[in-house]
Amino acid sequence: MKNSYYVRRFEANDAPTVSELIIKTLRTSNRKDYSEEYIENDVRLFSPQGVVQRAEWTHFYVICADGLIVGCGAIGPYWGREDESSLFNVFVLPEWQGRGVGRKIMEALEQDEFFLRAKRVEIPASVTACEFYKKMGYTYKDGKNIVDEEQLYRLEKYR
């Protein structure tokens, strides 16, 4: 059965659900690639209040299916630049991964004005999500396929 997804902008009352989604995904999907300490440090950033704060300076989206929020993602300016943007917080509930949810989120983000105005879009990519972003056409920034001090890959796409 094909799921019907719809994407909409994040609303403040989504914050508790989105926080739970991100934390569950970090603790489930990312645990094979990161230490518990690393994950729990990230978990602290994604309280409902932390999610709302992120949404205040990005265009934050949620993707819904079967009446549930099953994924999210955000795009914003890259260090305040007009010609560069960055993707953030692309997460899909573990039980919904591999069903096209991530692709739908990326399609929505790539239609956003922050993407369309940018010559270059960067993603601070987790080890867990790196291959997914590469399938979406992103490549290693400056050809460097090593993690940085934050244990993230830096990927980019030129437009």
Sign of the torsion formed by the C-alpha atoms of 46, 48, 59 and 136: positive
CA–CA separation, 34 and 122 (whole Å): 21
Task: Compute the distance between CA of residue 14 and CA of residue 84 in angstroms, rounded to an integer.
Answer: 28
φ and ψ at 11, to 5 degrees?
A: -120, 150
What's the confidence (pLDDT) of residue 3? 67
Cα radius of gyration rounded to whole Å, the chain: 15
pLDDT for 79 beyond 60: yes
CATH of 5-158, one of 3.40.630.30, 3.40.50.300, 3.40.190.120, 3.40.140.10: 3.40.630.30
Q: pLDDT above 70 covers what percent of the chain?
A: 98
Average pLDDT, the chain: 96
d(CA 45, CA 104): 25
Six-digit token string for 72: 């999210």
Residues contacting 100, CB < 8 A, separation 6+? 3, 5
pLDDT score at 2: 60
Global confidence as pTM: 0.94
Residues 6 or more apart in contact with residue 46 via CB below 8 angstroms: 19, 22, 23, 26, 89
The residue assigned the tokens 């205040």 is: 56
**1 confidence band (pLDDT: 50, 70, 90):** very low
